[in-house]
Copies of this chain bind each other. A is one copy, B any other.
Amino acid sequence: MRFTYIVPRLGRLRLKTMTKPLAVVLLSGGLDSAVCAAVAQRDGFALAALTIEYGQRHAIEVQAARLVATALGIERHLLLPIDLRAFGGSALTDDIDVPKGGLEEGVPVTYVPARNTVFLSLALAWAEALGARDIFIGVNAMDYSGYPDCRSEFIHAFEQLADLGTKAGAEGQRFHVHTPLIDLSKAEIVRLGHSLGLDLAMTTSCYDPGPNGEPCGGCDSCRLRAKGFAEAGVEDPRAR
């Protein structure tokens, strides 16, 4: 694939014509997926970004995803609506209060049933249709081990499934799900994004933002983000 791309927001103007392997990146608009996308570009991939509009309360994320895709110069950005509210079962899609009392044991009520299975399946479908064999997802198993579908065993099982359940796999090709953040602390993710020149102010992490997208400061995701920035010694441009 030959194309011209421009990444002005990364602090320098790059204008080249070159050949790069194509990867699909799941882009939520959160901190992790934005850093994940920047890492994928650093590692030499051209990106097709997939944002799933799944009826999340925090629709502000979708707007953030747009900003991140533009900033990274990702020309192919697909917003795919799928209303997971129809299934129910999560504080992120249902009318259930998002907890703000700090991290608790076990799987959080913000868990969306089988969400990463659904998201990776959609990324796989698009990757196969595009002829891409690489998928990037910003899952993280360190700071927040409560989500079962953020663990490396799950990712490896998905790779096996992808090879078995696709035409490309049946023809002997192999899919690779990249998880560059899986073993990083939130502070390391913040530092990594910062070092790649990513403007972290674009990203949003709150599970229960206000009407203008302002973070609540109390949900698990706000707490982890604040802790990450603090430990990294970086000021969060989005914090209240």
Residues on A lying within 8 angstroms of B by beta carbon are 78, 80-84, 86-90, 107, 111-118, 120-122, 124-126, 128-130, 148-149, 151, 153-154, 157-158, 160-162, 164-167, 169-171
Q: Which residues of B contact A107 (CB under 8 A)?
A: 167, 170-171
A89-B128, A113-B128, A117-B124 are contacts. A80–B83 as well, Cβ < 8 Å?
yes
Contact of A111 among B83, B90, B154, B167 (CB under 8 A): B167
Q: Is the CB of B113 within 8 A of A129?
A: yes
| Interface of A, helix, strand, loop or mixed by DSSP | helix
Q: Whole-angstrom distance from the CB of A180 to the nearest CB of chain B? A: 19
Q: Whole-angstrom distance from the CB of A145 to the nearest CB of chain B? A: 10
Contact of A166 among B128, B129, B149, B171 (CB under 8 A): B149
Q: Is the CB of B129 within 8 A of A87?
A: yes
Nearest neighbor of A164 in chain B, beta-carbon distance: B154
Cα–Cα distance between A126 and B86 once the two chains are bound (Å)? 8
Cα–Cα distance between A75 and B195 once the two chains are bound (Å)? 55
Nearest neighbor of A125 in chain B, beta-carbon distance: B114
Cα–Cα distance between A80 and B170 once the two chains are bound (Å)? 28
Q: Whole-angstrom distance from the CB of A37 to the nearest CB of chain B? A: 19
A148-B165, A165-B157 are contacts. A113–B125 as well, Cβ < 8 Å?
yes
Cα–Cα distance between A81 and B122 once the two chains are bound (Å)? 14
Q: Which residues of B contact A118 (CB under 8 A)?
A: 118, 121-122, 124-125
Contact of A117 among B125, B129, B151, B154 (CB under 8 A): B125
Nearest neighbor of A84 in chain B, beta-carbon distance: B125
Q: Whole-angstrom distance from the CB of A95 to the nearest CB of chain B? A: 14
Q: Which residues of B contact A122 (CB under 8 A)?
A: 118
Q: Which residues of B contact A81 (CB under 8 A)?
A: 82-83
A78-B86, A161-B157 are contacts. A113–B167 as well, Cβ < 8 Å?
yes
Cα–Cα distance between A151 and B164 once the two chains are bound (Å)? 8
